[in-house]
Structure formats: structure tokens, C-alpha cells
């Protein structure tokens, strides 16, 4: 689940001097750029500004705050933002990109797409595209449009690093009024207005997420300021101290070790192929949380937060598997991982996300989820997940030395989520998210198309499945693929969920898929966040053939009964005569509601092929006894 503070709100342009680079600009695009340079003060004014310091106000996510930005030619950029309870800093010094946590304490060095994004921010904040050499970027003429009585012409700018942007100019004034930024499988738009002479040139002093001239307010209680950023001052300076752009020293949040300093062993339950751990918020009783390396920050279910008296603040969008969902922030005094009175570890003073994790998860997982333990907590430690013995071990990274028998893979972090290279089949490689919060192995639409997976699996049995994630429901087709490899480890005939979507995380263009627990359970997995290493040590399940379901029925737990859904044609449940919406009263003579998810997995995911499980079902007022003889669905 991941969505950061939108740094694209900060529009202020720092201006530059020429440098020698390889670049390209189409003649028609040059005309548009020259018109803009003239409209904002001329080439000499542009060349005179080598460094700029700007200040202003920002309203977003229902918070009000202030920002200060520095930039210097050709590629330096830094931002400091105070937004409600949040304190955020980020920067790029021409080589290294960095970002602090929401308390402006812990510093994360950026790589991968995060680094590319901040490099792109530095390029555009310094207006490199407006110089004769375009700062090494490529500028081409885009489409034109007529809107609200004005003509607009766009240019498409591809920077040396980071996402491209389409810049729209008013042909009458020459001013830049709209910026559209590509972001993975979507785009964001920024509208610029209120042009004033400031900082030695004419520039926009208002940036909004919607066109202010045509804004319609349906709710009279809606914040009149909406989402906007206002420039109060911009000042040209001869130079800026390099320390402004360099990563600050930062500090790690101190950990409280509950039994032994530097190490904590926390048991987990492995039900529905998820890592369930006990955790406590603000010293309250321990509840069931998922350990989720795919979550950029710890998230608490909205119902649980309300019952625990946790007050949400603001509102923002988070990216889930299915699309965008609404969330809020909250301050918590402590997060403790570990059962009451048992071994564990705790961190204090965290900003967490409050999000509606929904009733559907509880119906399918057979356990209420109080929240997700994410990157902000996990990255403080070296985290080892031993699936065979169902133990999570947290270690102090300052004293950690890997002593296992596994293999180290290079790991980068994108928005706090581990990313590694993996290969499908013989040679189709891509970037995959390592997501312990995901039970299976998902191939995103981009990976499916690029690796021709549909063509290679068209003759194989497939099961259509609707997945539930943050944002929306999404459709996938589950089948076996030939192989996938992580470093030196090859998994033969794994079961993968194939998506053709172009929306949500399953439609991502940046990532080929999510590697979840159906693959990770084959190893003892160690995440060394500080050194960006992922250690894989084969375990007891390493050579086991992947299984999807040996019953072919989804048992859904409702408050007072269990019903059957998703009966797969030709499965054991289908052969036995189980029907959609049958109420399952007994399983092997025991009340169906009394089972745990782990017990159901043992029977229907890992149960012996050829063994028989007896269902007593209620259908149209009659009780029926059905014998389900297990066999693999795929």
C-alpha cells in the first residue's frame, strides 16, 4: 500500500546557466520554449538566476502548512515542508537523493524509481528544459487544444532521469499554465496561475490540483482553499551552501527490546498464506496484524482505530493492488510487536496510516485484521522470517552480521518496498516487489504482456479469480507458468495470478509483479534494509510443488455461518456436488465456524491428495452430507 507526500505541489522554478550536454529539441518546440522564456523576463533574466530560494504556503490532504525550497543549477534541489503534524524533508545534491520520514528524523537514501523521480524534480524545478541545451533532455512538440476561449500548445519533455512531463502553454501570453506528469500507469496534473514578477522573473504564484478558473464546489463545507500551493517569496541568491542539498545525519528511532537487547523472537501464525503477528498500539491489548513488506508505512484499520481511541488527521490517497483508496494519518505513542507478556520489540512516536481494510478481508481470511506492520517499523531492524518454524526474528542492524547458509540478492527500496530482479522462463527478467503481505505470486499487466505469458499458457488450465485489495476489486487468471528464478534459485511450475489490467498496482508499468508468500515460504527470508540485501536460504518447502487449492471452494466466514463461494468447475468440491451459497454447517462432524484459518489451510491447501473431507451443508432447508475427495485444481 504506498503513496508519499506529493512533492509535485512544489512548483517553484529555479533558473540556470548553460552547460554542455547532449540534448535534442524539435524546431517547433523551440518556438514555444523561446516564447515562454521571453514572456517570463527574457533570456538574460533566465541566465542571471543560478540559485533560488523560495517560501510559501501549502494546503493538501486537509492539512495547512508551509514549505521552503532551494534549487541550484544544474541539478540540485531541496525541500522542507511542515504540513499539519507532518515534518518532511527531501533533497538531491546532484549525485545522491534522500528523504526523511514523516517526523523528519530517519533519513532514507533513495534509489530505483524514487531516485529517478527526485532527479526529475531537480531537472524541472531548475527549468533545464528551457535552456539552449535542454539539460540533456529531449523536447518535442505535443498536441494543441482550445479551452475556455484560449488556445494552448504543449511540449513533451523527457528528462535524463525520471518521468516525462507534458507542459501546456497559453499561446496568447506564452505562460506555462498546466503540467501533466506521467506516474507509472497514471498521470497527475498541476494548474498554474496568478502570474507575478517575483524573484527576478514573471512566474506563477499559485499551483492547484484543479483548474481554479473552472472549479465547481458541490459541498458548501468544502475547504475553500482546496489543494493548493502559494508562493509568498522567491529570491535569487549568489549561491547556496552545499550542505542544504546533502543528506542530513538523521537518527534512528530508538527500539525497546522486551527481553534481550538487540534481538527479539516473535512467533507468528501462518494462515491463508499470510504472516499474522500480534501487535499492540499505544500500550493496548495485542491484536492480530499482518507483517507486510509491501506497505510503505504501518497502517491501522479504521474500525480498530476508532475502538482504540486513535484520532485520524487529514486525508490522502494510497495506492493499493486494485487502485486508489482513501486514508488518514494518526499519531501513536508506541507500536509494539509481540504478544502480551512475551518477547518482542517496540518503537515510539510513529505516524501511521488509518485506512478501511474492509470486511471482505475478514470474511476470506477468517480473522479480523487490526492493521499492517509496514516499512516505517520494519526498516528499523534486520527482519528474518522463518516460515518452517513460524518465527520472525528482529535484529539490531548495527550489530548484525549474516551467518546463515543463504544467498544474498541485491535489493532496492521503492517507497520503502523491497524490489529485486527475477526471471520468468528462460530469459524474461523484470523488477518485482517482495511483498510478504501478498499470499501469492502476481504478474502485473506489463509483465504478462512483455513476457508473452498469455500466449505461453493459453492451453493450460486457468481459474478466473477476483482479488480484493486496497482501492478496488481486480480480476486475475490463475495458472501454472514454466518457471521463475530469484538469483540462483529456480522455482518450477509455480502458480501465478495473471493480470491484464492497466490500473492499480496490478497494472503497474514499473514493476513486473509481486513476489508473495507462495514463493517466499520456500525460504528463510532475511530483509537487511540498511544494507539493501535480501537473503534467501532454502527451507523445507523449497522443492514442494506449488498448490492452489485441493478442494476448489472458497469458504467464506460470515458472523453466524459459513458459506461456499467460488466453486471451481471440475474441482473436488464441484465433483462432490457443493453449490454456490451452500451453508457449510459441519466439516468432518465439527462445527465449521470453530475452525482456524491455519486448520483450513492444512486440510484444503496442504491436505493429502486422495483424502476425503466430509461437508454437512444446508441447502434450501435441507441438510446434505457431501464427500469431497481432494485433488489439485491446477
Distance CA 88, CA 83 (A): 8
Distance CA 179, CA 127 (A): 13
Name the residue with cell 552547460: 19
At residue 106, the pLDDT reads: 87
370 and 478 co-located in one domain: no
Nearest Cα neighbor of 130 from 23, 212, 227 is 23
What grid cell was written down for 501? 489490467
Assign 503 a pLDDT band (cuts: 50, 70, 90): low
At residue 245, the pLDDT reads: 97
Q: What are phi and psi of 497, to 5 degrees?
A: -100, 115
In CATH, what number is assigned to the domain containing residue 39? 2.50.20
> Among the listed ranges 244-253, 522-531, 540-549, which one has the minimum average pLDDT value?
244-253
262 and 217 co-located in one domain: no
What grid cell was written down for 568? 471451481
Cβ neighbours, 10 Å, residue 240: 18
Q: Which domain holds residue 372?
A: 255-397
* Model confidence at 13: pLDDT above 60: no
Assign 243 a pLDDT band (cuts: 50, 70, 90): very high
183 and 71 co-located in one domain: yes
Q: Do residues 102 and 88 make contact, with C-beta atoms less than 8 angstroms apart?
A: yes
Task: Please write the tens of the pLDDT for every residue from 95-132.
Answer: 999 999 888 788 999 999 999 999 999 999 999 999 88
**Burial state string for 560-578 with b = 16 or more CB within 10 A and e = fewer than 16:** eebbbebbbeebbbbebeb
**Burial state string for 359-394 with b = 16 or more CB within 10 A and e = fewer than 16:** eebbbbbbbebbbbbbbbbbbbbbbbbbbeeeebbb
387 and 422 co-located in one domain: no
224 and 261 co-located in one domain: no
* CA end-to-end distance (rounded Å), the chain: 29
94 and 166 co-located in one domain: yes
Q: Do residues 130 and 34 make contact, with C-beta atoms less than 8 angstroms apart?
A: no
377 and 431 co-located in one domain: no
Nearest Cα neighbor of 605 from 557, 564, 544 is 544
- Domain contains 23: yes
Assign 252 a pLDDT band (cuts: 50, 70, 90): confident
- Domain contains 1: no
Q: Do residues 56 and 67 make contact, with C-beta atoms less than 8 angstroms apart?
A: yes
- Domain contains 422: yes
What grid cell was written down for 115? 531516485
Strand bridging mode 299-301 / 345-355:
parallel
Nearest Cα neighbor of 465 from 357, 550, 549 is 549
- Domain contains 405: no
Write the DSSP symbol of residue 253: P
Mean pLDDT of 562-590: 94
At residue 467, the pLDDT reads: 55
Q: Tell me how far CA of residue 305 lies from CA of 280, 281, 320, 369, 472, in angstroms.
A: 12, 9, 20, 12, 22
Q: Residue 344, Cα to own-chain centre: how many angstroms?
A: 27
At residue 522, the pLDDT reads: 97
Domain boundary among 244, 276, 307: 244
How many domains is the chain partitioned into structurally?
4
Mean pLDDT of 377-383: 97
468 and 566 co-located in one domain: no
Mean pLDDT of 472-495: 87
Write the DSSP symbol of residue 30: H
234 and 262 co-located in one domain: no
* Model confidence at 263: pLDDT above 90: yes
Mean pLDDT of 292-307: 94
Nearest Cα neighbor of 54 from 81, 17, 16 is 81
Distance CA 327, CA 313 (A): 9
At residue 460, the pLDDT reads: 86
At residue 216, the pLDDT reads: 39
> Among the listed ranges 19-33, 285-299, 446-460, 565-579, which one has the minimum average pLDDT value?
19-33
220 and 270 co-located in one domain: no
Q: Residue 173, Cα to own-chain centre: how many angstroms?
A: 40
Q: Which residue has the higher pLDDT, 505 or 283?
A: 283
* HEC letters along 80-138: EEEECCEEEEEEECCCCEEEECCECCCEEECCHHHHHHHHHHHHHHCCHHHCCCHHHCE
- Domain contains 161: yes
* Model confidence at 324: pLDDT above 90: no
At residue 461, the pLDDT reads: 85
* HEC letters along 141-169: EEEEEEECCEEEEEEEEECCCCCCEEEEE
pTM beyond cutoff 0.95: no
* HEC letters along 181-213: EEECCEEEEEEEEEEEEECCEEEEEEEECCCHH
Task: Please write the tens of the pLDDT for every residue from 177-205.
Answer: 999 998 777 788 999 999 999 989 999 99
Mean pLDDT of 519-527: 98
In CATH, what number is assigned to the domain containing residue 335? 2.40.70.10
Q: Tell me how far CA of residue 346 lies from CA of 278, 310, 372, 376, 388, in angstroms.
A: 12, 18, 15, 12, 25
Residues for the chain: how many in total? Answer: 634
What grid cell was written down for 554? 472458497
- Domain contains 29: yes
Domain boundary among 338, 371, 397: 397
- Domain contains 549: no
144 and 201 co-located in one domain: yes
At residue 445, the pLDDT reads: 82
Assign 471 a pLDDT band (cuts: 50, 70, 90): very low
What grid cell was written down for 317? 490517497
Domain boundary among 362, 397, 432: 397
Assign 362 a pLDDT band (cuts: 50, 70, 90): confident
Assign 176 a pLDDT band (cuts: 50, 70, 90): very high
- Domain contains 544: no
155 and 90 co-located in one domain: yes
Amino acid at each position: 500500500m504506498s503513496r508519499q507526500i506529493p512533492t509535485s505541489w512544489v512548483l517553484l522554478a529555479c533558473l540556470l546557466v548553460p552547460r554542455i550536454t547532449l540534448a535534442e529539441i524539435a524546431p517547433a518546440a523551440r518556438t514555444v520554449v523561446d516564447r515562454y522564456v521571453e514572456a517570463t523576463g527574457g533570456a538574460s533574466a533566465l541566465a542571471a538566476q543560478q540559485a533560488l530560494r523560495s517560501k510559501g504556503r501549502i494546503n493538501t490532504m486537509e492539512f495547512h502548512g508551509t514549505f521552503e525550497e532551494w534549487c541550484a543549477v544544474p541539478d540540485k534541489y531541496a525541500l522542507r515542508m511542515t504540513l499539519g503534524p507532518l515534518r518532511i524533508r527531501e533533497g538531491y545534491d546532484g549525485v545522491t537523493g534522500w528523504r526523511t520520514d514523516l517526523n523528519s528524523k530517519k533519513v532514507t537514501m533513495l534509489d530505483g524509481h524514487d531516485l529517478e523521480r527526485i532527479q526529475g524534480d531537480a531537472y524541472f524545478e531548475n527549468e533545464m528544459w528551457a535552456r539552449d541545451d535542454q539539460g540533456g533532455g529531449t523536447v518535442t512538440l505535443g498536441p494543441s487544444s482550445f479551452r475556455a476561449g484560449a488556445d494552448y500548445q504543449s511540449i513533451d519533455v523527457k528528462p535524463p532521469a525520471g518521468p516525462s512531463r507534458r507542459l501546456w502553454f497559453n499561446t496568447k501570453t506564452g505562460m506555462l499554465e498546466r503540467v501533466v506528469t506521467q506516474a507509472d500507469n497514471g498521470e497527475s496534473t498541476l494548474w498554474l496561475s496568478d502570474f507575478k514578477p517575483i524573484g527576478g522573473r514573471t512566474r506563477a504564484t499559485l499551483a492547484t490540483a484543479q483548474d481554479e478558473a473552472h472549479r465547481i464546489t458541490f459541498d458548501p463545507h468544502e475547504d475553500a482553499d482546496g489543494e493548493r500551493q502559494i508562493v509568498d517569496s522567491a529570491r535569487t541568491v549568489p549561491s547556496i551552501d552545499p550542505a542544504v542539498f546533502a543528506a542530513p545525519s538523521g537518527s534512528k528511532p530508538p527500539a525497546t527490546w522486551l527481553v534481550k537487547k538487540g534481538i527479539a523472537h516473535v512467533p507468528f501464525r501462518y494462515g491463508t498464506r499470510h504472516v499474522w503477528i500480534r501487535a499492540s498500539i499505544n500500550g493496548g491489548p495485542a491484536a492480530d496484524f499482518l507483517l507486510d513488506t509491501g506497505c510503505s508505512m504501518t497502517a491501522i484499520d479504521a474500525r480498530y482505530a476508532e475502538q482504540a481511541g486513535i484520532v485520524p488527521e487529514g486525508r490522502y490517497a494510497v495506492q493499493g493492488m486494485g487502485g486508489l483508496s482513501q486514508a488518514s494519518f494518526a499519531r501513536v505513542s508506541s507500536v509494539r510487536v509481540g504478544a502480551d507478556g512475551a518477547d518482542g520489540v517496540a518503537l515510539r512516536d510513529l505516524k501511521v496510516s488509518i485506512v478501511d481494510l474492509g470486511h471482505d478481508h475478514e470474511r476470506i481470511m477468517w480473522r479480523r485484521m487490526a492493521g499492517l506492520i509496514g516499512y516505517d517499523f520494519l526498516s528499523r531492524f534486520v527482519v528474518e522470517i522463518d516460515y518452517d518454524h513460524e518465527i520472525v526474528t528482529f535484529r539490531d542492524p548495527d550489530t548484525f552480521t549474516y551467518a546463515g547458509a543463504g544467498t544474498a540478492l541485491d535489493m532496492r527500496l521503492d517507497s520503502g518496498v523491497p524490489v529485486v530482479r527475477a526471471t520468468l522462463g528462460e530469459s524474461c527478467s523484470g523488477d518485482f516487489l517482495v511483498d510478504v503481505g501478498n499470499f501469492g505470486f502476481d504478474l502485473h499487466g506489463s509483465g504478462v504482456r512483455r513476457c508473452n505469458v498469455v500466449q505461453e499458457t493459453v492451453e493450460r488450465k486457468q481459474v478466473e479469480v477476483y482479488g480484493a485489495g486496497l482501492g478496488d476489486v481486480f480480476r486475475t487468471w490463475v495458472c501454472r507458468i514454466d518457471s521463475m528464478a530469484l538469483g540462483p534459485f529456480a522455482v518450477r511450475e509455480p502458480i501465478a495470478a495473471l493480470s491484464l489490467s492497466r490500473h492499480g498496482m496490478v497494472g503497474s508499468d514499473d514493476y513486473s509483479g509481486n513476489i508473495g508468500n507462495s514463493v517466499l515460504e520456500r525460504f528463510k527470508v532475511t530483509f537487511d534494509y540498511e544494507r539493501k540485501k535480501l537473503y534467501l536460504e532454502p527451507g523445507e518447502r523449497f522443492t514442494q510443488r506449488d498448490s492452489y487449492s485441493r478442494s476448489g471452494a472458497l469458504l467464506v466466514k460470515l458472523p453466524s455461518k459459513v458459506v461456499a463461494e467460488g466453486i471451481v468447475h471440475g474441482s473436488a468440491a464441484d465433483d462432490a456436488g457443493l453449490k454456490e451459497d451452500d451453508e457449510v454447517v459441519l466439516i468432518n462432524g465439527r462445527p465449521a465456524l470453530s475452525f482456524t484459518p491455519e486448520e483450513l489451510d492444512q486440510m484444503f491447501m496442504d491436505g493429502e491428495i486422495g483424502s476425503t473431507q466430509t461437508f454437512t451443508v444446508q441447502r434450501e432447508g435441507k441438510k446434505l452430507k457431501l464427500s469431497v475427495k481432494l485433488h489439485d485444481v491446477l
